[in-house]
A and B are shown apart, each in its own frame.
Chain A
Amino acid sequence: MNDILVWFQNPGLTHVLLISAALFMLGTYAILTRRNAIMVLMGIELVLNAAGLNFVAFGRYAVGTFDGQVITLFIIVLAAAEAAIALAIVLNIYQNFHTVNVDEINRLKD
């Protein structure tokens, strides 16, 4: 019992990893279930943020260098590019299909 209390009182690497794992799960769930393409995009952002959190946490607690932070910055840059492109695609889809629901855009199925 005391061990658990000590564990809770000293937030460290494992805590951050667990939080980011939960964030990753939530993001995946959003990607898999949401019908609106923009909601899917938000799920992707959550997943990317979970990854960035992991990098910084490893850099802080396990490795002790700044490489993790640099990688996280790259992730943020990539996320920006990705969001721009994805939203452009969503707008284009909206113009063509008049919907952004990913389950209705299945023309390739036929």
Chain B
Amino acid sequence: MNPETLLSLSLATLLLPLASFVILIFFSRRFPRQGDWLGTAIAFTALATALAIAITKLTAFHDEVIQANLPWVDFGNVPGVGPLTIQLGIMVDNLSAIMLVVVMIVSSLVHLFSIGYMQGDVRYGRYFAYLGIFTFSMLGIVLTNNFFMMYVSWELVGLSSYLLIGHWFEKRSASDAAKKAFIVNRVGDVGMFIGILILYATYHTFTFDPIFAAIRAGQIPMGSEAWLTAAGILVFCGAVGKSAQFPLHVWLPDAMEGPTPVSALIHAATMVAAGVYLVTRTFAMLTADALMFIAYIGAATAFIAATIAIAQNDIKKVLAYSTVSQLGYMVMGLGVGAYTAGFFHLSTHAMFKAGLFLGSGSVIHAMHHALHHAHDHHTDPQDIRNMGGLRTKMPVTFWTFLIYTLAISGIPLTSGFLSKDEILAGTLAFGDLTGHAIIPIVAFFVAGLTAFYMFRLVILTFFGKPADEHRLAAIHESPKVMTVPLIVFAALSVFAVWTGSFNPFSAEGWFTEAMPRPETVVPASAAAATNEVWAETSHHVHGPAMVLSLIMASTGIVLAFVVFYWKRINADAVVARLKPLHTFLVNKWYFDELYDATVINGTLAVTRAYRWFDETVVDGIVNGVARWTMGVTLGKNDAWEGGTFGSIAYLLVTGLVSVYAGWVLASSLAPADPTFGQLLWYGLLGLGTAGLSFFMFYVGVGGFDNTIVDGLVNLVATFAGFTGIVTRRIQTGKVQTYLAFVLLGVMVFFLWFN
């Protein structure tokens, strides 16, 4: 296979899911079974081509980067900017080849699983169409070689996520969750957009390679390393939104309102990994400061989410927070510089987390049917307190679920052990190199927490006595179409798949060979540790890291069994003891409340502050000055009419001053030997000046305050009120009014640039 064939194959892989979307969105009602077989067949075809691409790429073209560009828009030589073209392009390197397979495996198996899970859904065909457009846009992110297409696909992914979360939009909570996901993501995307614009303004291209080459050649934005750091962090903001990193992680748990296979595909394995993928893509251009920022964000996310996961009772919520926590792990891994480990964990995590979600889907499906059978519409089929003892009834689901749980906890013989271990070693090396010891501490602590809450989930769901014996009797294992994907994912969670060797303690293998840490392109003064230093240090700490991570994981597991299986420690008593902490965790650290308080009430608070400022400070100063002036000149307001000494003296002095002013003005303006007419004229001028001046003084004290100062203040207030009325009136809801404003705007632009 030559490179051209490889590129056309990858283009075909990209466009196949789009075809699935277009066909199904228009014609799904015409097909038998609403076209689910078509969508699934297309997904598996794309999986086959993706596998072919990846195998060819990793064997025949191991160290090459194959890419093709297409000049999309050519603006020619734009004055003030220079040549301006927008290139589209696709790229197949080891990163995108592996990611392609990861995405397609999860996507195709989720297609298959959905046939069973979504059976009889109201919008069955549309659901498969949405899966198609999601897969297309995700592949767009993976295959592109420039920021432009990356951003477009980024938004398309956001759109399809919105559509799928809101699949059951009749449910208020689902449509709210969809909106929340969309809007929160937008916050991060604005940062990414600005970051891309900074890069574009400097390099006049969106394509990765020329940008990296230019940075390597020493050309950096505004000639300052701080700007390069800022560009890196701003682009990372997109990842913060999509990968649900702190502080924008709030949308992901709510997104579990979507169908469970969707949670597996989008909100566990692929889309949320897009942020991590973006960081991997741009890894070479990130400065040490940007990487440090990323590492801390990742660590904070991993910690916060893991603590919340302990206190949740909804099976999907636990998995959601576990996802957030693991994403934080990956981001932290990349941030500390463990490039290979971060992406390794992304790939392995995609498999076992998709499996976990599909497994939970299988459980929910069974619970739902059992409850339906018992005509019970009040019990929550997703609450783990209502489960228990499912082990015997759903053996396939149980065993696969156990394998995934072992993998996510980092137990040897699983893929999760290898990748997690690499990340932990990376954090240790980072702590060694930079002295930021808090990162490895958090990382190891979270490893223990993960093992604990995941086994809590397994024990409460599958072990022990069921909450209701009758309900358990009605539970059945899910159909083949759902269990087969579970088995496949379980097989993919075994270590040997990812290394190709039979040493369960070494991550060395085809994956690590395919993904060597790229040499950074940023100037040496701003760069993180070089590859040599990094390899040296991480090799050094690898042994201790493995031992420590094993200790942490087994501690977590044993603790989970002690508390929830053997019940040696009463969980309720612990909760009662730590009531405030537990409430804090159950309420997810109050992030939603915090954002409500800041975003919504913030605006109101600003308004109130302005009002207070106007009433107290502005009015206070004005009135204070007026009172002070009066006090100095007159003593009191009443004294004016009373003819006190002060007022008489004031009148006298001001009268003299006025006469003098008139005299000076008239005599200085008058010519040397004036005629009679001139004399009369200038005399009148002098008198007028004196009179005016005296009047000003007279009116001044009493009137200046009342008329002019108050007038000014009130004018400002009236203007503000008027503006308020006008801006409210503008919102007429009439198209024509808006059109008038558009026209006005156009004219302003016209005059501005004229």
Contact = CB atoms under 8 A, between A and B. Distances in A.
Interface of A: 28, 31-33, 40, 102-103, 106, 108-109
A102 B743 contact: no
A50 to B, nearest CB: 14
Question: Of B731, B735, B743, which is in contact with the most chain A CB atoms at under 10 Å from its CB?
Answer: B735
Contacts of A109: 731-733
A102 B735 contact: yes
A103 B740 contact: no
A63 to B, nearest CB: 20
B577 interface: no
B734 A102 contact: yes
A27 to B, nearest CB: 12
Contacts of B731: 109
A31 B736 CA distance: 7
B739 A32 contact: yes
Interface in B699-744: 731-736, 739-740, 743
Contacts, number: 21
Contacts of B733: 106, 108-109
A31 B734 CA distance: 12
A26 B731 CA distance: 25
B743 A28 contact: yes
Q: Which of B736, B739, B743 has the most CB of A within 10 A?
A: B736
A108 B732 CA distance: 10
B615 to A, nearest CB: 33
A51 to B, nearest CB: 14
Contacts of A32: 736, 739-740, 743
A103 B734 contact: yes
A33 B732 CA distance: 14
A103 B734 CA distance: 6
Contacts of A103: 734, 736
A34 B736 CA distance: 9
Contacts of B735: 102
Chain B contact residues, majority secondary structure: helix
A107 to B, nearest CB: 9
Contacts of A102: 734-736
A95 to B, nearest CB: 19
B573 to A, nearest CB: 54
Nearest to B734: A103
Given A32-B743, A106-B732, 17 more contacts: A28-B743, A31-B736, A31-B739, A32-B736, A32-B739, A32-B740, A33-B736, A40-B736, A102-B734, A103-B734, A103-B736, A106-B733, A106-B734, A108-B733, A109-B731, A109-B732, A109-B733
B300 to A, nearest CB: 41
A40 to B, nearest CB: 8
B743 to A, nearest CB: 7
A108 B731 CA distance: 11
Contacts of B743: 28, 32
Contacts of B740: 32
A40 B740 CA distance: 13
Contacts of A31: 736, 739
Contacts of B732: 106, 109
A108 B735 CA distance: 11
Nearest to A106: B733
21 contacts: A28-B743, A31-B736, A31-B739, A32-B736, A32-B739, A32-B740, A32-B743, A33-B736, A40-B736, A102-B734, A102-B735, A102-B736, A103-B734, A103-B736, A106-B732, A106-B733, A106-B734, A108-B733, A109-B731, A109-B732, A109-B733
A41 to B, nearest CB: 13
A109 B733 CA distance: 5
Q: Which of B731, B732, B734, B739 lies at the interface centre, i.e. has the most chain A CB atoms within 10 A of its CB?
A: B734
Contacts of A40: 736
Interface in B241-280: none
Nearest to A110: B733
B747 to A, nearest CB: 11
Contacts of B736: 31-33, 40, 102-103
A103 B743 CA distance: 19
B220 to A, nearest CB: 45
Nearest to B736: A32
A35 B642 CA distance: 66
B67 to A, nearest CB: 37
A71 to B, nearest CB: 20
Residue among A28, A102, A103 with the highest chain B CB neighbour number at 10 A: A103
B174 to A, nearest CB: 23
B292 to A, nearest CB: 47
B228 to A, nearest CB: 44
A28 B740 CA distance: 9
A33 B739 CA distance: 11
6 nearest A-B pairs in the assembled complex, by CB-CB distance:
A109-B733, A106-B733, A103-B734, A32-B736, A32-B740, A102-B735
Interface in B409-437: none
B147 to A, nearest CB: 34
A102 B738 CA distance: 12
A24 B671 CA distance: 61
Nearest to A103: B734
A28 B733 CA distance: 19
Nearest to B735: A102
Contacts of B739: 31-32
B31 to A, nearest CB: 30
B561 to A, nearest CB: 58
Nearest to A107: B733
A109 B736 CA distance: 14
A106 B735 CA distance: 9
A28 B734 CA distance: 16
Contacts of A28: 743
B741 to A, nearest CB: 10
A32 B734 CA distance: 10
A54 to B, nearest CB: 16
A30 B485 CA distance: 63
Interface in B468-487: none
A108 B743 CA distance: 22
A102 B736 CA distance: 8
Contacts of A33: 736
B527 to A, nearest CB: 53
B307 to A, nearest CB: 43
